[in-house]
A and B are shown apart, each in its own frame.
Chain A
Amino acid sequence: MGGKTIIDPFYHSPALIVFIPLVSSLIIASVGFISKKLQHILFFIALLITAFFGILMSYEIYTVGDWSFAIELGSMRLTSGDHVFMMYFLADGVSAMATIILSITSVAAGLYSYTNLMEEEDSITRYYILFLITVAGTHGMIFSANLFNRFLWFQVVIASTSALVAFRKYDDRAFEAALKYLVLGCIAWFFFLFSIGIAYGVHGEMQFYELAEGITGGFADRIAMAILIVVMAFKSGAVPVHFVKPDAYSRAPSSVTVVMVVVSQAGLWTMFRIVFNVYGTAVNTYIVGWVVIMLGILSAFIGVSMALVQRSIKRLMAYHAISQTGYMLLGVGVGIAVMGTTDMGIFGRDAMVGGIFHIINHAIYKGLLFLTAGAIIYKTGERDLNKMGGLGRSMKWTMLFFIIGALAISGVPPLNGFTSKLIIYRSVYMFNPVLSVVAMLVSILTLASFYKVFHSVFMGASREKYNDIKEEPMTMLVGMGILAFAVILLSIFPGRAIAILVEPAVEALGVIS
């Protein structure tokens, strides 16, 4: 740790990446009376600048190494003494990969939302502000090197995403979904605080690496870890704590859903950090690994099963998001189960690489699929697959983007979904062949489910009510195009992507083969 010094210009860049969207949201709120178009331009510029610094900082991490720092926010004198409020940042392989994912998806979603949401003129300012706060909060979660800081950002993200789910004021179901998301988020938030309290009460520390030094694997440690794992499983949408995800994902505007997928992944990153960087081998990793594996297998299988019977296009995709989370948990779960053994070098590290590579793949192709679903809903006003058909004639670009996303998520070679799944299948097979067979079965069902969507939406005879439909506006197409291009890049150069993005993240989690 400590590849940088304070005089380095990029030293504080993680803080900048968090604060740029926050400050921009205030500016955007104040220019609303001038022009809505100006607001959107500023909104997009803010996302671009954040993404630029995110990618620049990631480059610094890959070339110079990890570093961490703290910013003092203020102090308070209480009867127990003087208390200083600090914000701790950690820039390493995990934060670099997570910020790159968020940068790409938020820029694509921001561009896409220009025409997609312009009709909602009354509430568009609210959208810009909440979207930027969500981006800032997710970056905050990604960079926090301290449990309590992460807990605060978790709270920010829960509040802002709940409000974004209820963005369309006239949609009762969106309100219901937002309320459920908020209530469950608050319950999870409470338990998160409770587990931090246990850890702090026992060890007097909340920073990851300082806390890790004190962890002995005692009963209190194990209970705190169990709570943290379940809270982060909820955040990532793992079965059986997944129920609110389909509700929220399906009713939120599609550009928001794209970012919500990455927000969910911040939960996964937190879980991995806690298990690897904080608890490590102080606990029985075989049992912890199997808990994560079971969460993964349940998510993969139940997620895809529920997707198969859905008739709402976005709800179907939401269940697939749950199912894909299962692959990530499965890969990393195997890595956890063999942590500290010789198997880590044989297949554990590969399983981790597969699981983590699947995180970036999933964010990109699932984002693309949600955007195509949003484009279809935007043009037809319809979510029900039973009422669609023949749209392939009028929405050719959308159909092409959908095919790219659907083939990638189904693990069809040579697309990126295949690469990460191949690594997972092979490495998980060496751990337990049954798990690998279930993972392959899930992939077949995923393909079947997306064929259903493809045929229901794009194939068949044209329906009379859709005769006048034309292709979406350019900004929406470009938004989808960015993600489709990223899918193709990751498909053609998986070795490069793993070497640049995934390997540093695996190393940052302290995995030594």
Chain B
Amino acid sequence: MNLYFEIVDWNPLFMIFMACFVMFVIYILYRMGNSTYRKTKYKGEPFLSGNPPVGEWKDDLEPINIRGDSFYWGFIQALKFYFKPLIAGHTGRLNDYIFWFIITLVVVMVVLSFA
């Protein structure tokens, strides 16, 4: 169960045990909290100055779905110089696939001819 290599030591059960221990400590801290706390209407909601109270505002929200394309849109836009040619290179054409196969073959043959 342990991994003891020349350079790597790793024990997953120790990590699981430590995670359980940390959760136990969190539970103890939680139990030590103020037991007289009572949740009222706006307690615990974020306070946004100038906006309507969150409790009322929340009822007007539309159901939200984040589209797959929206994830990392900014990241991909910022690295457009990298992603654009990469996507364009994946043409879906069989001729291109064969071209890359032959090119790779030639390059590897040339390199390994010195091996």
A contact set with B: CB distance below 8 Å: 179-180, 183-184, 187-188, 191, 217, 219, 222-223, 225-227, 229-230, 233-234, 240-241, 243-244, 246-247, 283-285, 287-288, 291, 302, 305-306, 308-309, 311, 345-347, 349-350, 353, 384-386, 388-390, 413-414, 419, 422-423, 426-427, 430, 448, 451-453, 455-456, 459-463, 491-496, 498
Evaluate contact between A413 and B15: CB separation under 8 angstroms.
yes
| B87 / chain A contacts, CB cutoff of 8 Å | 306, 309
**Per a CB cutoff under 8 Å, which of B2, B15, B82, B112 touches A287?**
B112
Measured between beta carbons, the chain A residues less than 8 angstroms from B68 are 311, 384-386, 388, 452-453, 456
Q: Which of B41-96 contact A (CB under 8 A)?
A: 63-69, 71-72, 76, 82-83, 86-87, 90, 92, 94, 96
Q: How far is the CB of A211 from chain B (nearest CB, A)?
A: 17
B113 touching A283, Cβ below 8 Å: no
> Are B72 and A229 in contact, with the CB atoms below 8 A?
no
Q: Is the CB of B13 within 8 A of A492?
A: yes
Cα–Cα distance between A430 and B72 once the two chains are bound (Å):
33
User: Considering the chains assembled together, what is the distance between the CA atoms of A479 and B29 in angstroms?
Assistant: 41
Neighbouring A residues of B5 by C-beta, 8 Å: 350, 353, 423
Query: Which chain A positions have C-beta within 8 A of B113?
Result: 219, 222-223, 226
A226-B113, A451-B71 given; name 13 further pairs at CB < 8 Å: A285-B115, A287-B112, A287-B114, A288-B115, A306-B86, A311-B69, A347-B7, A385-B69, A386-B67, A389-B66, A461-B65, A463-B65, A492-B1
Determine the chain B residues whose CB is within 8 A of the CB of A495 once the complex forms: 1-4
Name the contact of B12 in the complex, choosing from A288, A413, A498 (C-beta under 8 A): A413
**Do A308 and B12 touch across chains, with their CB atoms under 8 A apart?**
no
How big is the B interface, by class?
35 or more
Q: A305 to B1, Cβ gap below 8 A?
A: no
Q: Which residues of B contact A188 (CB under 8 A)?
A: 101
Q: A305-B82, A305-B86, A353-B5 are in contact. Are A491 and B12 (CB under 8 A)?
A: yes
What 1/0 mask marks residues of chain B from 12 to 42 whose CB sits below 8 Å from any chain A CB?
A: 1101100000000000000000000000000
Are A309 and B76 also in contact (CB < 8 A) when A386-B68, A462-B63 are?
Answer: yes
Q: Are B90 and A291 in contact (CB under 8 A)?
A: no
Chain A residues, Cβ within 8 Å of B13: 492
A191 pairs with B15, CB closer than 8 A: no
Q: B2 to chain A: which residues have CB within 8 Å?
A: 495
CB-nearest residue of chain B to A298: B104
The winner among B2, B16, B67 for most chain A CB atoms within 10 A is: B67
Q: Give the chain B neighbours of A291 by CB distance below 8 A.
A: 108, 111-112
B contacts, CB < 8 Å to A: 1-8, 10, 12-13, 15-16, 63-69, 71-72, 76, 82-83, 86-87, 90, 92, 94, 96-98, 100-101, 103-105, 108-109, 111-115
Contact B3 A423 (CB under 8 A): yes
Known: A222-B112, A353-B5. A227 touches B86 (CB 8 A): no
B66 neighbours in A (Cβ, 8 Å): 389, 455-456, 459-460
In the bound complex, residues from chain B placing their C-beta under 8 Å from that of A463 are 65
B67 partner residues in chain A, CB cutoff 8 A: 385-386, 456
Known contacts being A422-B10, A456-B67, A492-B13, is A229 close to B112, with CB within 8 Å?
yes
Contacts of B114 in A (CB 8 A): 284, 287
Closest-CB distance, A134 to chain B (whole angstroms): 22
> A288 near B86 (CB under 8 angstroms)?
no
18 contacts between A and B (CB under 8 A): A184-B101, A226-B111, A227-B105, A229-B108, A233-B104, A241-B100, A284-B115, A288-B115, A305-B83, A306-B86, A306-B90, A308-B72, A386-B68, A390-B65, A461-B64, A491-B12, A492-B1, A496-B1
Q: Are B96 and A243 in contact (CB under 8 A)?
A: yes
Q: A308-B72, A456-B68 are in contact. Are A184 and B97 (CB under 8 A)?
A: yes
Residues in chain A near residue B6, CB distance under 8 A: 345-347, 349-350
Which residue on B lies nearest to A448, using beta carbons? Answer: B72
- The smallest C-beta distance from A21 to any residue of chain B, in angstroms, reads 30
Distance between A122 CB and nearest chain B CB, rounded to angstroms: 28
Contact B15 A494 (CB under 8 A): no
CB-CB under 8 A from A226, the residues of chain B are 105, 108-109, 111-113
B103 CB, nearest partner CB in chain A, Å:
8
Nearest to A459 among chain B residues (CB) is B66
Q: In the assembled complex, which residues on chain A have CB atoms less than 8 Å from the CB atom of B97?
A: 180, 184, 243-244
> Looking at the complex, which one of A187, A389, A453, A496 makes contact with B65 (CB distance below 8 Å)?
A389
Q: Are B3 and A243 in contact (CB under 8 A)?
A: no
Residues of A within 8 A of B94 (CB): 179-180, 183-184
A287/B7 in contact, CB under 8 A:
no
Q: Say yes or no: B96 contacts A423, CB within 8 Å.
A: no
Q: What distance in Å separates the Cβ of B23 from its nearest Cβ neighbour in chain A?
A: 15
In the complex, what residues of A have CB within 8 A of residue B63's CB?
460-462
Q: A241-B101, A347-B6 are in contact. Are A227 and B96 (CB under 8 A)?
A: no
**Most chain B CB within a 10 A radius of its CB, from A184, A243, A389:** A243
Chain B CB within 10 A, most for which of A219, A233, A495: A495
CB distance from B64 to the nearest CB of A (A): 6
- How far, in Å, is A499 (CB) from chain B's closest CB? 10
